[in-house]
Amino acid sequence: MYEVIHFFTDLQDNKYPYNIGDKFPHDGLTVSKERLKELSESNNKQHKPLIKLVEEEIPFTNNDIESEERRYTKSEINHMNTTELQSLAAQIGIENAFRKTSGELKKILIEYFGL
Q: What number of other Cβ atoms are within 10 A of residue 24's Cβ? A: 23
24 torsion bin: left (phi>0), alpha (psi -120 to 50), beta (else):
beta
pLDDT at 96: 85
Whole-angstrom Cα distance, residue 94 to residue 48?
A: 30
State if pTM tops 0.85.
no
H helix and E strand count, the chain: 5, 5
Q: Where do the structural domains in the chain lie, given as residue ranges?
A: 2-53, 62-112
pLDDT at 99: 87
Q: In this structure, are residues 91 and 68 in contact, taking their beta carbons and an 8 Å threshold?
A: yes
pLDDT at 22: 93
pLDDT at 56: 57
Instruction: Dump pLDDT digits (tens) for 56-66.
Output: 555 544 444 44
- Residues in the chain predicted with pLDDT less than 70, given as ranges, are 55-70
* 64 phi, psi to nearest 5 deg: -65, -45
